[in-house]
Amino acid sequence: MSGESIYQPQSAFMKWLERRLPIASLAHSSFIAYPTPRNLNYWWTFGGILTFMLGVQIVTGIVLAMHYTPHVDFAFDSVEGIMRDVNYGWLLRYIHANGASFFFVAVYIHIARGMYYGSYKEPREVLWILGVILFLLMVITGFMGYVLPWGQMSFWAATVITNLFSAIPVVGSSIVTWLWGGFAVGNPTLNRFYSLHYLLPFVIVGVVGLHIWALHMVGQNNPTGVEPKSDKDVVAFTPYATVKDAFFVGVFCIIYAWFIFYIPNYLQHSDNYIPANPGQTPTHIVPEWYYLPFYAILRGIPNKLLGVTALAASIIVLAFMPWLDTSRVRSASYRPLYRQFLFIFFAAVIGLGYLGSQEPTGGYVIAARVLTLYYFAFFFVILPLLGLFEKTKPLPNSISESVLQQGVPAGAPAPPPGVHA
Amino acid sequence: MKRHHRLAFALALAGVLCGAGAAAAQEADAPPRQRWTFSGPFGLYDQAQLQRGFRVYQEVCANCHSLKLLSFRNLADPGGPNFTEAQAASIAATFQVQDGPNDQGKMFKRPGKISDFFPPPFANEQAARAALGGKLPPDMSTLAKARSYEAGFPWFVFDAFTMYQEDGPDYIHAILTGYTDAPAGFALPPGGQYNKYFPGNAIGMPKPLSDGQVEYTDGTPTTVDQYARDVSAFLMWAAEPTLIARKRLGFQVMIFLIVFTGLLYFTKKRVWHTVLHEPEVEKPRAPTEYKV
């Protein structure tokens, strides 16, 4: 952690503890004295929001697990029992189910912010890769959680997704049998998904620890992409970042509560209120909304093995961004071309999400292929080439200079001439 | 830069054209949206309507459809049909429930108690199919949340803001009132009925309701439309009995969150004031190494 702790234990007990386990000074240097760039905007609050959501999911999940029965004959009814007969069970379940969605809302914004401001670049590569691992863990955990209510979509999503592994040559079908614990999705599958759905969040907690450790090693990026150079460029984490994060967690919670209390089933597929029936395939099987872009990539490619490879590659490619991007300038604010291509990239991902929710016929497949092509071209063609050809805007000398140039709020006295960091 | 704008435009256009193609391929009519007492942030179930709806369920639907997740005591739950406990007990007593095994090891039938679940009309799936020409009527406990229809873009976006969550009851009401003669040239499969709101238009369930079929004691018109409305409301309650508690708590939570977040906003403003207005002030802080 950069920066010495100025923590001074006051009480006799804290002095005693400090000599044996300096946990108080660690907390102090990490969450109080930790210097954070003064020009961070609200897009930087999503790290805190994600930590908050992880806590919400774990707490509600543990209580839900006390009432849930992981058995094909009882799972659906036990979830309905939670909704009807457990005190505030409906609240716990709606917080948890919508919490998954809002977890993904926050993580997508967090990733998009990293891409926009070049937070993946040297020296933050490991921090970024840990983030990609966290995202992968979230995808797996979310998918397994969706299977647990054992409704029609749970069952058929489990069938479709586990079947993807059958595309692997030679050992594919053995792997699928091994995943299922049988020759079809059944009770053993539900049991292991439940077990893993309980385990993986704690793995996420561990990797979040590494993610924050790596963050505190290299410091936060900021909207200019210029590293802090003096004390004028930074503020202490507490109270500045803490209160800002807390405020935006509140804003986030208002929208989250809107969904929990007023439209709790809006993001759900209605078919998941029909108990799982292996003998009846739904008219069209769709995953949860947050997987739709990847689902569109998968379905757009006619060859199954290629489709699965593209699906996996579409997430794994993110880990290679630090090396695919050849530009030395971090922030898209100073990279006019990158900025444009990045916004098209975001539009392409949203477009893929829409296409993933529609039936894969005719024009939809073609559109999905075009957008998939752009998705990969962005990483493998645009990112490497832009660094070589793009003419970037001049960077400010320091964070405080950029703040004084553009960040002066209305009513504030104009900075005296010649003030520089 | 112009080039990129054009590319973005082409992509957007492609998206719009695809959307238009999908709209043309739709087959069943979209159910018309009804007015429900339980919609919106302060929506409540209409107790009289749920009682009428229960009557329709009991006299018509219950002949084929189970309601296995509900017990008779739920009929007396506050916020629901709100029957008295004695009324719920006497409704329960009209049903024969299987119990046992008794001291002789035999299963036996007895009149229902208030703690019993609604007994199913058929012993099992095979019995239902045998009696109904191979068809299996779905359980109705979660039906109002298990049915929906595609609103399509951009309507589904507006639905998030208008709190539209009544797609299930709208759909059920539409199905119950959607029986018409099949248009010329429509090949109806054997045993099927034409319904303009049912996906594919051929529904297995014969037209269940007709005018005057169920007697109402409160002067409400005894029409198919009214029956459909009442039973849809009843099924919404059956699927989401905690809706009223949810909306009541939701309002309190919203008030709290808005006030609390407002306070946090002003706290944030106050805390950041010195940083934004007096950038030269040195604050006592840990010495930090910077990579210059």
Is A85 part of any domain? yes
- Identify whether residues A267 and A292 lie together within a single domain: no
Contacts of A130 (CB under 8 A, 6+ apart): A207, A210, A211, A214
Of B14, B257, B279, the CB nearest to A250: B257
- Whether the pLDDT of residue A2 is over 70: the answer is no
Question: Residue B207 has what pLDDT?
Answer: 95
- Identify whether residues A152 and A271 lie together within a single domain: yes
Is A20 part of any domain? no
Question: Residue B286 has what pLDDT?
Answer: 56
Is A402 part of any domain? no
Partner-chain contact A273 B250, CB within 8 Å: no
Nearest alpha carbon to residue A399 among A221, A239, A240, A248: A221
Partner-chain contact B21 A362, CB within 8 Å: yes
What does the alpha-carbon distance between residue A223 and residue A43 come to, in Å, rounded to a whole number? 10
Percent of chain B with pLDDT over 70: 86
Bigger pLDDT: B26 or B183? B183
Can you tell me the mean pLDDT for B66-79? 94
**Structural domain total, chain A:** 2
Is A229 part of any domain? no
Question: Residue B153 has what pLDDT?
Answer: 84
- Identify whether residues A370 and A386 lie together within a single domain: yes
Of A274, A343, A371, the CB nearest to B146: A274
Q: For an interface test with B, which of A242, A247, A252, A402 has the most B Cβ atoms less than 10 Å from its Cβ?
A: A247
* Helix %, strand %, coil % of chain B (to 5): 45, 5, 50
Q: Residue A288: which region, alpha, beta or left (left: phi > 0; alpha: psi -120 to 50)?
A: beta
Question: Residue A403 has what pLDDT?
Answer: 81
The H-or-E segment that residue A235 falls in is strand A234-236
ipTM score here? 0.91
Q: Which residues of B touch A266 (CB under 8 A)?
A: 159-160, 165
Q: Which residues form the domain of A365?
A: 286-392
C-alpha angle with apex A146: A144 to A152, nearest 5 degrees?
A: 120
Partner-chain contact B249 A91, CB within 8 Å: yes
Give the tens place of pLDDT for each residue, B258-285.
999 999 999 999 999 988 776 555 555 5
Per DSSP, what are the bridge partners of residue B203?
B193
Taking residue A146's Cβ as centre, other Cβ atoms within 10 Å add up to 24
Question: Residue B10 has what pLDDT?
Answer: 44
Helix and strand totals (H; E) in chain A: 17, 2
- Identify whether residues A43 and A162 lie together within a single domain: yes
Nearest alpha carbon to residue B45 among B220, B232, B253: B232
- Token representation of residue A143: 């998918």
CA distance B150 to chain A (A): 10
The amino acid that residue A59 corresponds to is: V
Partner-chain contact A270 B159, CB within 8 Å: no
- Identify whether residues A303 and A269 lie together within a single domain: no
Partner-chain contact B291 A227, CB within 8 Å: yes
Is A399 part of any domain? no
Partner-chain contact A264 B246, CB within 8 Å: yes
**Average pLDDT for chain B:** 88
CA distance B94 to chain A (A): 24
Question: Residue A3 has what pLDDT?
Answer: 44
Tell me the residues of chain A between 244 and 273 that have a Cβ less than 8 Å away from chain B: 244, 246-247, 250-251, 253-254, 257-258, 260-266, 270-271, 273
- Identify whether residues A119 and A176 lie together within a single domain: yes
Question: Residue A110 has what pLDDT?
Answer: 98
Work out the angle between the directed axes of helices A292-300 and A336-357 (0-180°, nearest 10): 80
Residue A290 C-alpha from the chain's centroid: 10
- Whether the pLDDT of residue A339 is over 60: the answer is yes
Partner-chain contact B146 A409, CB within 8 Å: no
Cβ contacts from A onto B, under 8 A: 178
Give the tens place of pLDDT for each residue, B241-260.
999 999 999 999 999 999 99
- Whether the pLDDT of residue B70 is over 60: the answer is yes
Partner-chain contact A232 B279, CB within 8 Å: yes
Q: Which residues of A touch B289 (CB under 8 A)?
A: 2-3
Confidence (pTM): 0.91
- Identify whether residues A271 and A290 lie together within a single domain: no
Of A254, A262, A363, the CB nearest to B17: A363
pLDDT category, A362, cuts 50, 70, 90?
confident
Is A159 part of any domain? yes
Asked if B279 and A400 touch (Cβ cutoff 8 Å), the reply is yes
- Identify whether residues A266 and A291 lie together within a single domain: no
What CATH number is given to the structural domain containing A364?
A: 1.10.287.980
Asked if A104 and A290 touch (Cβ cutoff 8 Å), the reply is yes
What does the alpha-carbon distance between residue A3 and residue A353 come to, in Å, rounded to a whole number? 43
- Whether the pLDDT of residue B19 is over 50: the answer is no
Asked if B148 and A283 touch (Cβ cutoff 8 Å), the reply is no
Is A406 part of any domain? no
- Token representation of residue B260: 């609390």
- Identify whether residues A188 and A264 lie together within a single domain: yes
What does the alpha-carbon distance between residue B10 and residue B79 come to, in Å, rounded to a whole number? 53
Supply the DSSP symbol for A236: E
CA distance A117 to chain B (A): 19
Question: Residue B191 has what pLDDT?
Answer: 86
Q: Which residues of B touch A74 (CB under 8 A)?
A: none
By CA distance, what is A82's nearest residue in B? B242
- Identify whether residues A83 and A141 lie together within a single domain: yes
Asked if B100 and B108 touch (Cβ cutoff 8 Å), the reply is yes
Partner-chain contact B272 A29, CB within 8 Å: no
Residue A354 phi/psi, 5-degree rounding, is: -65, -45
Question: Residue A411 has what pLDDT?
Answer: 40
Question: Residue B6 has what pLDDT?
Answer: 44
Question: Residue A181 has what pLDDT?
Answer: 96
Asked if A176 and A165 touch (Cβ cutoff 8 Å), the reply is yes
Is A206 part of any domain? yes
Asked if A100 and A201 touch (Cβ cutoff 8 Å), the reply is no
Bigger pLDDT: B10 or A138? A138
The string of DSSP letters for B158-219 reads HHHHTT---HHHHHHHHHHH-B-PPPTT--PPTT-EEBTTSTTSEESS-----TT-S--SS-
Q: Which residues of A touch B147 (CB under 8 A)?
A: 270
Can you tell me the mean pLDDT for A211-215? 96
pLDDT category, A266, cuts 50, 70, 90?
very high
What CATH number is given to the structural domain containing A43?
A: 1.20.810.10
- Identify whether residues A151 and A51 lie together within a single domain: yes
- Identify whether residues A92 and A168 lie together within a single domain: yes
Partner-chain contact B18 A403, CB within 8 Å: no
Question: Residue B190 has what pLDDT?
Answer: 87
Tell me if chain B has a CB within 8 Å of the CB of A218. no
